[in-house]
A = this chain, B = another copy of it.
Amino acid sequence: MKLNIAVLPGDGIGPEVTNQAVKALKAIASEFNHNFKFTTADVGAVAIDKHNDALPEETLELCKKSDAILFGAIGDPKYDNNPSAKVRPEQGLLKLRKELGLYANIRPVKAYNTLLDKSPLKKNIIEGTDISIYRELTGGIYFGDKTLSKDGNSASDLCAYSREEIERVAHLAFVAAEHRNHKVTLVDKANVLETSRLWRKVVKEVAEQYPDVTLDFLFVDNAAMQMILNPKQFDVILTENMFGDIISDEASVIGGSIGLLASASVGDKYAMFEPIHGSYPQAANKGIANPIASILSAAMLLSHFDLHNEAELIRLAVEKSLKLNITTPDINSVVNTVTTANVGDFIEDFL
């Protein structure tokens, strides 16, 4: 298969981990005789520094011409604590999601057997957890009107949703549930928010088209609690943009390290693959960043194009590296010298 892959490494540890994912994809290409072409472009703080734009036009153009996008991470503390910064790294990511119509962010959360001890949660709580989170990604309070009063003393953000925005991501979640454990949990705050009540109404209607999938509801505060008390109760979680951001980062503790979690952001035309971790500037260029989340994002990319054997092989390689403790310090309590590149090299060799 021929694939044009846009590579957007971004900030902080983004470039290091993305490099390892590209290595894995190249190994797969040569093993399975695929033709993968990689083109790199700037996004985030690095793009602001170079082009004064978190998402330069040519980066967006490249993405639109590509079959898939491999994304690293963005964000830089020099912009976080500057409330008056007009251009922010995050705008690059948000604009990319919006422009490419990537309305569903899919985050698998699994407890790896070899890593059960690494989690802050007790083994009996997490063992066997297997969740797929469907987060709406191009609507809600992320993209609603924002205001700041002239005197700078009051501000607002609008959370808005339409039936169509809810339906399309809901369908993806129900289809996923049909191939999994046949359960969708809608996380909302319907006792307070009008938008949540709309979500409940629309999702109930969508559910009628999937008679073999059970739908239940959890308020987001309760969901944040249940995710830790009993994560095994979940199969597919469906939720709006902001709640999904919070719940999925929280769920990352189950796996023992956020450095393991991959995600896919998909729409009707484009698809982007990225680790759920951030840019962790403190860890950049030290060789301590875990490349597995990025490598597993590459596996999700392969699955997206129905290259299931290839994706499976990457997952096997990752499990092997975990079993052999060829892992970065976030999950490696014994050996202290395995670097980002070491993990990538091992996986490349295995492939």
Contacts and interface: CB of A to CB of B under 8 A. Distances in A.
Contacts of A160: 154-156
A227 B228 CA distance: 11
A201 B152 contact: yes
Interface in A301-320: none
A195 B158 CA distance: 10
Given A120-B125, A160-B156, A225 B242 contact: no
Contacts of A228: 120-121, 228, 250, 253
A157 B144 CA distance: 10
Interface in A115-166: 120-122, 125, 141-142, 144, 146-148, 152-163
Nearest to A249: B221
B161 A155 contact: yes
A70 interface: no
A247 interface: yes
B157 A195 contact: yes
18 contacts: A80-B191, A81-B217, A83-B198, A83-B200, A120-B125, A121-B228, A141-B159, A148-B194, A148-B197, A154-B160, A154-B162, A155-B198, A156-B195, A157-B159, A189-B242, A221-B246, A224-B249, A227-B250
